[in-house]
Chains A and B, each alone.
Chain A
Amino acid sequence: MASLVGSRVERKEDKRFLTGKGRYTADINIANQTYAVFIRSPHARAKIKKIDTSKALKSPGVVDILTGEHIAQDKIGGLIAGWAIRSEDNSEMKCPANPPLAKDNVNFVGDPIAVVFAESLDEAKAAAELVKIDYKVLKAVTSLADTMKSETIHDGIDKNLCYDWLLGDRQKVKEAFDKADKIIKLDITNNRLIPNAMEPRACVIDYNTASEEITCYTTSQNPHLSRLIMSAFGGVAPENKLRVVAPDVGGGFGSKINLYNEEIVCSWAAKKIERPIKWIADRTESFLTDTHGRDHITHAELAVTNDGKFLGFKNETIANLGAYARVFGTVTPTYLFGPCATGVYVMPAAYSNVKAVYTNTAPVDAYRGAGRPEATYTIERIVDKAAIELGMDPIEIRMKNFPTEFPFKQTLVHQVDSGDYIAGLKKAKEMADYDGFAARKKDSESRGKLRGIGVTTYFEACGIAPSPVVMMLGCGVGLWESAEVRFNPTGQVTVYTGSHSHGQSHQTTFAQIAADELGVPIENIDIVHGDTDKGTFGMGTYGSRSLTVGGIAIVNACKKIVAKGKRIAAKMLEASEEDVEFKDGEYVVAKSNKKKTIGEVAFASYLPGVRDEVKSPLPEGEEPGLIESSFFDPANFSFPAGSHIAEVEIDPETGNVKLDKYTAVDDFGTIVNPTIVEGQVHGGLAQGIGQALTENAEYDESGQLITASYMDYTMPRADNFPEFNLGFTCTKATTNPLGVKGCGEAGAIAAPPTVMNAVINALDGHEIQMPATAEKVWKACKEIKKTNAKAA
């Protein structure tokens, strides 16, 4: 039987999704359900003086209206930060209370205050308009650069500072800088993004008055974690009385990692009003209240020798947390950012200093790449600047500073197990026809256009692990993953995973690896996920961890199945275990060529006997059945890497940037399904290119989100992209048996610096900040013209 790992198996999900048969939270209806509408703050910062629901309560169809007062009475807990980060001075980070419904203060536009339940959505909306809230409006804090000098948003949190974190060695960096021929300096902003999952957040809650069990259907990337938080911190119900189901979910990109206000409130309220509840965010609510991403201001410095060797690197960063600290909000700009900020280079000394601050904006949390795009942007932009200032080729300067041996001890934290950065960059250079650039530039110039080429080499750290280290660093949970594999008596296999698929195609990839392990046709394997009542506890999907952690748990559970099967087969074949070999779904005794299929063994394991004779296929002491589970906690992160090259053409008359060519060469170790991996790269690139060229979340001074619809928030579209030219190299991960590395975030990590390096190259090194919109580029073109005129 040919191995399925590595083949382009058609996606099992395609039929469901392409024929509109997906079943999303909004598709779920429960008899007698009520409709929830949340009343949200129109102000970025205000005190709530009074809430008057009397008129609204009398509005037709209204079942109930609940406020923060009710939440407080019932002692329902608030939202939490999942990682505790310590400052450089060793003090603990400072987090404000974040009740599910604001009672006294609101801190961003969209902060929920009350909720209306009514017989219909229209009635709930009409009643919501009748709730009267008196506010004392306060001055909003919205400028990231000035936040620490602004009024204090949360009582007791001085300078609006959550923490002032340091990773690295200031003294060593100083010494390195003292020895440098040249210090390269760079000031950059990492623009704020809105994740924009296609499916808005939603929840449908059923409450069984007899069993007192709450079922929460929700748009989550990690239903088990949502249940844990809702139970342990929210106090909504004990875990055994709370079932969380995340059915088909239409994209998350990090924004659906968090357990949000609405799920807590609706789960709690369903029990209170003894009615099922349905809530679906509209697009405006998605813009306002989904966690946003990125939003850093960074000053970075790189110490170099005249011949382009790196001696040291440092960065001072202010990271925006928004109004509250959420699940991955505090770790994203620290442990997910700092260690990667020295990039793929040998860097003798380095530090990252990050001040995370609160502002009156939506909470900022993990968004595809989470910290690593910000890190990669910083290092890859400054390396390019170094090349410009030293008059070196951007590929040459990178090659000069790559590690040549693996494992590679990266400066700040990571022990990178495998990689070959030189091979990757060479391949990208070839595929992108780097050497033909000069001719293409000439051609552009003949048409009055500017052309630029940009290079990025990156590595990232995904599949965060192992748990003891993760928890030592402040994480509230361990980041292992679980799987359970059930062989049914009649030969099909059901695989339960704690990962969650919201576009990643687990049903296909996981079935491929299970099919290979068990030697069972892929058609006979079903992957089940997303339901706390089905399968063991799991940690969910984010940070490119599904295959490297969750997939390996499946492999290990399969291996246990095969091992137990072998013990049984040996007995059935009357051979000793050592003489039995398992291959392609069959247990074979080489000497006699007697064999049993794994299906026959499974059948026997459930029906351990025969008619008229007391005879068991099970060895002495072996339990019946063929079910195994595994919890996998990898020894380390996985470290995908790659080299991307982009080419842009700029119209200096309008500033329009056309991304003309994009080449991505990635090393994801073993690739299980190339089609799916290419899809992941495409999606990541689209989001990364969006960050570089079009996307930007903007608040005005009073804290109103100006880009709260697609009329203003510029999602990139298909016509913004060229045909992506993808290639792969492979160095296997040594920390898991498949040799796989994460692939989900690579595109979003590598694309922003790649595209911006190309834009800035076209602009003769003239710095501009993301996104490179037409007007900014046009202004730069004008300035360049002026300087050139002066020089001439």
Chain B
Amino acid sequence: MKKFNYHSAKDVKEASKIASSSSVFLAGGMTTLPSMKLGLASYKDVIDIKKIKKLSGIKVSGKIITIGATTKHTEVANSKEVKKAIPSLAALAEGIGDPQVRNRGTIGGSIANNDPAADYPSACIALNATIHTNNRKIDAEKFFRGMFETSLKSSEIIEAIEFNIPQKSSYQKLPNPASRYAIVGVYVAKHKSGTNVAVTGAKSCVYNEQDLAKALSKNFSSSAIDNIKISSSGMNSDIHASADYRANMVKAFAKKAVDAC
């Protein structure tokens, strides 16, 4: 690992001040540290944000759950409030990686990283989330920009994520057998305003599958999407799953999700 300066920030302001184009925020470190160890990334400054109390915690008020950026996957998975309000979100967190990863990895780190196969981005899209940063509020639809790309600026810090509690929801994931990230993950959420079908793993970035969403908004049953064909164009293809297989799995897992709601 290359040498770097380590900073433990006491508040968001300090963290943001130190940040530059050659720095990284250290939340769970589950992405940052392996890539530094493998020599895939190196930074001048590593800014630890774990000690900033304000960034961690889970709150439910009315129709909204707010989860602090450094809240760990285990905390979300085990939270009574989350399990009650949006059980599918707790289940999603429970299905990330392995216990070691869940005990360290954070929701803020996961969405800031925006891995095309990560689980949380689909929750943000499906649950009409709003991402709160130290500067502004960003709609999830606008936050995820492309592969490993978000609308965050380099000194911008995610403080919390606000999720809308849906009427019904389910997240169904076909895990990559090796990494256990999503080959395809489909988050179906039925809101008063309509149904979202957020898909992760299939393309270079999470997206709302409009054809499925429209059909399910009209008729929330798995048979409603039987005749919709998902195109494989733009789908990822690798040794574990071809684009064609992924396209088919988007529908298969959407159906599973609807059935599980």
Do A and B share a complex? Answer: yes
Assess whether B241 is in contact with A775, with CB atoms less than 8 Å apart. yes
- Docked Cα-Cα span, A710 to B256, in Å, equals 28
Assess whether A711 is in contact with B178, with CB atoms less than 8 Å apart. yes
8 pairs of A and B residues whose beta carbons are closest in the complex:
A714-B178, A711-B179, A714-B177, A775-B245, A653-B252, A712-B178, A694-B177, A775-B241
Task: Find chain B residues with CB under 8 A from A654 CB.
Answer: 174, 249, 252-253
Residue of B nearest to A696 (CB): B239
Write out, one digit per residue, whether chain B residues 230-261 have a CB within 8 A of any chain A CB (1) or not (0).
00000000011110010011001101100000
Given contacts A654-B252, A778-B245, contact A715 B178 (CB under 8 A): yes
- Docked Cα-Cα span, A284 to B40, in Å, equals 13
- Docked Cα-Cα span, A694 to B176, in Å, equals 11
Given contacts A706-B239, A707-B239, contact A773 B177 (CB under 8 A): yes
List 16 A-B residue pairs with CB atoms under 8 Å apart, sorted by A's residue number: A653-B252, A653-B255, A653-B256, A654-B174, A654-B249, A656-B174, A696-B239, A706-B239, A710-B178, A711-B176, A711-B179, A712-B178, A714-B178, A774-B241, A775-B245, A778-B248
The A14-41 residues at the B interface (CB cut-off 8 A) are: none
- Docked Cα-Cα span, A711 to B239, in Å, equals 11
Is A380 an interface position by the 8 A CB rule? no
Which residue, of B1, B178, B241, B256, has the highest number of chain A Cβ atoms within 10 A?
A: B178
Assess whether A773 is in contact with B240, with CB atoms less than 8 Å apart. yes
Given contacts A775-B241, A775-B242, contact A713 B174 (CB under 8 A): no
- Minimum distance in angstroms from A282 CB to a CB of chain B: 9
- Minimum distance in angstroms from A285 CB to a CB of chain B: 12
The A771-792 residues at the B interface (CB cut-off 8 A) are: 773-775, 778-779
Is A460 an interface position by the 8 A CB rule? no
- Docked Cα-Cα span, A694 to B182, in Å, equals 16
Write out, one digit per residue, whether chain A residues 112-131 have a CB within 8 A of any chain B CB (1) or not (0).
00000000001000000000
Is A374 an interface position by the 8 A CB rule? no
Task: Find chain B residues with CB under 8 A from A707 CB.
Answer: 178, 239
- Minimum distance in angstroms from A576 CB to a CB of chain B: 69
- Minimum distance in angstroms from B19 CB to a CB of chain A: 26
- Docked Cα-Cα span, A712 to B38, in Å, equals 16
Task: Find chain B residues with CB under 8 A from A111 CB.
Answer: none
Assess whether B245 is in contact with A122, with CB atoms less than 8 Å apart. no
User: Which residues of B line the A interface, CB within 8 A?
Assistant: 1, 38, 174, 176-179, 239-242, 245, 248-249, 252-253, 255-256
Task: Find chain A residues with CB under 8 A from B245 CB.
Answer: 774-775, 778-779
Assess whether A712 is in contact with B252, with CB atoms less than 8 Å apart. no
Residue of A nearest to B3 (CB): A122
Residue of A nearest to B174 (CB): A654
Chain A contact patch, size range: 20 to 34
Assess whether A122 is in contact with B1, with CB atoms less than 8 Å apart. yes
User: Which residues of A line the B interface, CB within 8 A?
Assistant: 122, 284, 653-654, 656, 694, 696, 698, 706-707, 710-715, 773-775, 778-779
- Docked Cα-Cα span, A714 to B175, in Å, equals 12
- Minimum distance in angstroms from A742 CB to a CB of chain B: 31
Given contacts A773-B177, A774-B174, A774-B177, contact A712 B239 (CB under 8 A): yes
- Docked Cα-Cα span, A694 to B179, in Å, equals 12
- Minimum distance in angstroms from B249 CB to a CB of chain A: 7
- Docked Cα-Cα span, A774 to B183, in Å, equals 11
Task: Find chain B residues with CB under 8 A from A698 CB.
Answer: 239
Task: Find chain B residues with CB under 8 A from A712 CB.
Answer: 178-179, 239-240
Task: Find chain A residues with CB under 8 A from B178 CB.
Answer: 694, 707, 710-715
Within the complex, which residue of A122, A284, A710, A775 is in contact with B240, where a contact is CB–CB below 8 Å?
Answer: A775
- Docked Cα-Cα span, A774 to B239, in Å, equals 12
- Docked Cα-Cα span, A713 to B174, in Å, equals 17
- Minimum distance in angstroms from A701 CB to a CB of chain B: 13
Residue of B nearest to A125 (CB): B39
Task: Find chain B residues with CB under 8 A from A710 CB.
Answer: 178-179
- Docked Cα-Cα span, A608 to B116, in Å, equals 79
Task: Find chain B residues with CB under 8 A from A653 CB.
Answer: 252, 255-256
- Docked Cα-Cα span, A778 to B249, in Å, equals 10
Residue of A nearest to B37 (CB): A282
- Minimum distance in angstroms from B53 CB to a CB of chain A: 34
Task: Find chain B residues with CB under 8 A from A779 CB.
Answer: 245
Residue of B nearest to A284 (CB): B38
Which residue, of A284, A706, A712, has the highest number of chain B Cβ atoms within 10 A?
A: A712
Residue of A nearest to B249 (CB): A654
Which residue, of B38, B177, B245, has the highest number of chain A Cβ atoms within 10 A?
A: B177
- Docked Cα-Cα span, A779 to B244, in Å, equals 10
Task: Find chain A residues with CB under 8 A from B242 CB.
Answer: 775
- Minimum distance in angstroms from B10 CB to a CB of chain A: 30
- Minimum distance in angstroms from B85 CB to a CB of chain A: 28
Residue of A nearest to B246 (CB): A775
- Docked Cα-Cα span, A653 to B253, in Å, equals 9
- Minimum distance in angstroms from B223 CB to a CB of chain A: 14
- Minimum distance in angstroms from B132 CB to a CB of chain A: 31
- Minimum distance in angstroms from A760 CB to a CB of chain B: 20
Which residue, of B239, B242, B253, B256, has the highest number of chain A Cβ atoms within 10 A?
A: B239
- Docked Cα-Cα span, A707 to B248, in Å, equals 25
- Docked Cα-Cα span, A284 to B37, in Å, equals 12
- Minimum distance in angstroms from A42 CB to a CB of chain B: 14
Residue of A nearest to B248 (CB): A778
- Docked Cα-Cα span, A654 to B174, in Å, equals 8
- Docked Cα-Cα span, A284 to B242, in Å, equals 25
Residue of A nearest to B178 (CB): A714
Residue of B nearest to A694 (CB): B177
Task: Find chain A residues with CB under 8 A from B38 CB.
Answer: 284
- Minimum distance in angstroms from B40 CB to a CB of chain A: 11
Residue of B nearest to A656 (CB): B174
New contact pairs (9) apart from A654-B249, A707-B178, A778-B245, CB-CB < 8 Å: A284-B38, A653-B255, A653-B256, A698-B239, A706-B239, A710-B178, A712-B179, A712-B240, A774-B174
- Docked Cα-Cα span, A706 to B252, in Å, equals 28
- Minimum distance in angstroms from B189 CB to a CB of chain A: 22
- Minimum distance in angstroms from B112 CB to a CB of chain A: 20
- Docked Cα-Cα span, A298 to B174, in Å, equals 33
Task: Find chain A residues with CB under 8 A from B252 CB.
Answer: 653-654
- Minimum distance in angstroms from A706 CB to a CB of chain B: 6
- Docked Cα-Cα span, A773 to B241, in Å, equals 9
Residue of B nearest to A283 (CB): B38
- Minimum distance in angstroms from B141 CB to a CB of chain A: 29
- Docked Cα-Cα span, A706 to B237, in Å, equals 13
Residue of B nearest to A126 (CB): B2
Task: Find chain B residues with CB under 8 A from A774 CB.
Answer: 174, 177, 241, 245
- Minimum distance in angstroms from A170 CB to a CB of chain B: 39
Which residue, of A653, A775, A779, has the highest number of chain B Cβ atoms within 10 A?
A: A775
Task: Find chain A residues with CB under 8 A from B248 CB.
Answer: 778
- Docked Cα-Cα span, A470 to B255, in Å, equals 60
- Minimum distance in angstroms from A333 CB to a CB of chain B: 25
- Docked Cα-Cα span, A501 to B174, in Å, equals 39
- Minimum distance in angstroms from B96 CB to a CB of chain A: 15
Task: Find chain B residues with CB under 8 A from A694 CB.
Answer: 177-178
Task: Find chain A residues with CB under 8 A from B174 CB.
Answer: 654, 656, 774
- Docked Cα-Cα span, A698 to B241, in Å, equals 14
Task: Find chain B residues with CB under 8 A from A778 CB.
Answer: 245, 248
Residue of B nearest to A710 (CB): B178
- Docked Cα-Cα span, A654 to B242, in Å, equals 13
- Docked Cα-Cα span, A696 to B249, in Å, equals 22
Residue of A nearest to B253 (CB): A654
